[in-house]
Structure 1
C-alpha cells in the first residue's frame, strides 16, 4: 500500500517523495490465496510540500468476480527539497481523467534486484509482469479457470531503468471457443519528469480448462 501511495504522489507532484506517516489503516476483510488483489491510490489532500493519499486494497474472486474491500489507509508523503522539487505542489484535480473501460492497467516500480549489470530491467522480469497482466485481463473477461498456452511474440523496443515506474496495459483482442488472446503493452515512466516511452509489446494466448485440465468452452456473459 505504501508503494502505491508513493507512485500516486510521484505522479501528481513530480518530486522526490518520502513517506512521513500512515494513519487510520482499517482491515475490513481478509484476502485469500488465489484471489486477485487490486490496490488503488488517489490524492485526497494537497499542501505546499505534502500530499495525503488514500489507498484501498480490494480482493476479487477470479471466477465469480465477487469483490470486497479488505484494507483502507491514508498515507502522508512529503516532497524533499532539492533542484528537482517545484513548490508549491500542483493543486488537486477537480475532474480526474477517466480510464477507458475494458482495458486493464497495472503499475509497478523497478527496484535494484530486478535489474541487470546495465542497470535496466531484466527481460525475464518484464515478461513475468506482462504475463500476469494478460492472465488478469483474460480472467476478468472469461471468468473461468485459465492457463497460459503461448506467448506468440514479444518485442522489446526500449530499456527500462532502475527507479522507473512501469505501466502495463492489457487488452483482450480476441475470444475463441476455449481460448482468449491478450495484447500487453509495457510503458516506462520517469517519476520526476513524467516522460514516458513504449518499452515492449507481447501477445499471449490463454485457454480455459475444466477440473481435469482439458480445454472447455468459455461462457461469456
Structure 2
C-alpha cells in the first residue's frame, strides 16, 4: 500500500519531549524506575531544549532540588518534557517534567519536576547574548501531534560516524508502538514492518525527532507511519532522514490477535 499524504515538517520551537518505555533494565530492585535513569533523561532534555533555543554548545551548571513524587513501573511509558523559563546573557533555565503513563488505562502520574540551569560555552560558534524568550502560544494538547526526540551519541553510530540503521529502526518501531498503544489503549505487538526508506544520514551529535501517525485502523490492527527527522543542533538545519510503516496488532493475555475493545477506533 502506498501512502501519498505529504510529509509535515516538524516544529522547530525550543520545547522538546522524550517518550520512552520503562524496561526491566531501567528499574531498581523494587521494580520501579531507577532515579538515575530519570535524572539522565531530564538532563538530556534540558540540554536539547537549551541548545535548540540558543544554537550554542551548552553544559549543565546546576539543577535545583529534585523530589520524586510517584514511582514509574516496568511497562509504563515515561514522558519527559522541557521548556525554557528564563533566558539571560549566557545562561538559561529549563523546567523539566517527568510523567509516567500506564499504556492501557492511560492513567498518568507526575514522577518529578526539576529546574536545570544551562550555560553556553564561549567559542566561535556561540553568539551572545542568547536569543530572548518568546511568549508561548496556547496549544491544545489533544490536537498536538506526538513528537519524540533523541540525541545521537557515538555509541549509536556505524564506522562512518552516522546513525546505525538498526538503531534508527529501533527508535522508529518504538515510536510506532507508543503511538499505537496511545491510540487503541490495548496491548499491541508488531505484526510487520512493510517498508523502511532511508533518505539521508544522521551524524553523531544531531538530534533525532520522530513523528508517528496512525494512518489506518482495522478490526484488530493499526497501520502506523513514522517519520524520522534530523536536526543539527548548532545550525538548526533539518533533514527528513527516514520513513517507516508498521502494522501493529492488538493481542489478548495469551498473545493471540483480538478485536479492539473500542468500536470508535
Q: Same fold (TM over 0.5)?
A: yes
Uncovered stretches (5+) of structure 2, i.e. residues with no partner: 1-41
- For 2:84, which of 15, 39, 43 is the aligned residue? 43
- For 1:207, which of 244, 249, 253 is the aligned residue? 249
The answer to which of 156-165 and 91-100 deviates more is: 91-100
Q: Shift of the alpha carbon at 1:90?
A: 0.8
Partner-residue secondary structure (3-state), 2:163: coil
The alignment status of 1:54 with 2:103, answered yes or no, reads no
Partner-residue secondary structure (3-state), 1:116: coil
Residue 138 of structure 1 is matched in structure 2 by 180
Partner-residue secondary structure (3-state), 1:140: helix
Matched residues, number: 221
Partner-residue secondary structure (3-state), 1:104: coil
Q: C-alpha offsets along residues 160-206 of structure 1, whole Å, 9 cap, x if unaligned?
A: 00000000000000110000110000000000010000000000000
- For 1:178, which of 215, 220, 223 is the aligned residue? 220
Mapped partners of 1:186, 1:97: distance in 2:
26
User: Are the aligned partners of 1:102 and 1:171 in contact in 2 as well (CA < 8 Å)?
Assistant: no
* Runs of 4+ with deviation above 3 angstroms: 96-100
Q: Shift of the alpha carbon at 1:102?
A: 5.7
Return the structure number with greater strand share: 1
| Equivalent residue runs for 1:68-147 within 5 Å | 68-96=109-137, 98=139, 101=143, 103-147=145-189
Uncovered stretches (5+) of structure 1, i.e. residues with no partner: none
Residue 11 of structure 1 is matched in structure 2 by 52
Q: C-alpha offsets along residues 100-158 of structure 1, whole Å, 9 cap, x if unaligned?
A: 82622100000010001100000000000000000000000000000100010000010
Mapped partners of 2:68, 2:156: distance in 1:
30
The answer to which of 102-111 and 121-130 deviates more is: 102-111
Structure 1 residues 102 and 142: alpha-carbon distance in aligned structure 2, compared to 1, 3 A threshold: farther
Residue 43 of structure 2 is matched in structure 1 by 2
- Say what the alpha-carbon RMSD is for the aligned residues: 1.3
| Structure 1 length-normalised TM | 0.97
Partner-residue secondary structure (3-state), 1:118: coil
Structure 1 residues 102 and 90: alpha-carbon distance in aligned structure 2, compared to 1, 3 A threshold: closer
Partner-residue secondary structure (3-state), 2:47: helix
The alignment status of 1:169 with 2:211, answered yes or no, reads yes
- For 1:188, which of 224, 230, 235 is the aligned residue? 230
| Structure 2 length-normalised TM | 0.81
Partner-residue secondary structure (3-state), 1:135: helix
| Equivalent residue runs for 1:17-32 within 5 Å | 17-32=58-73
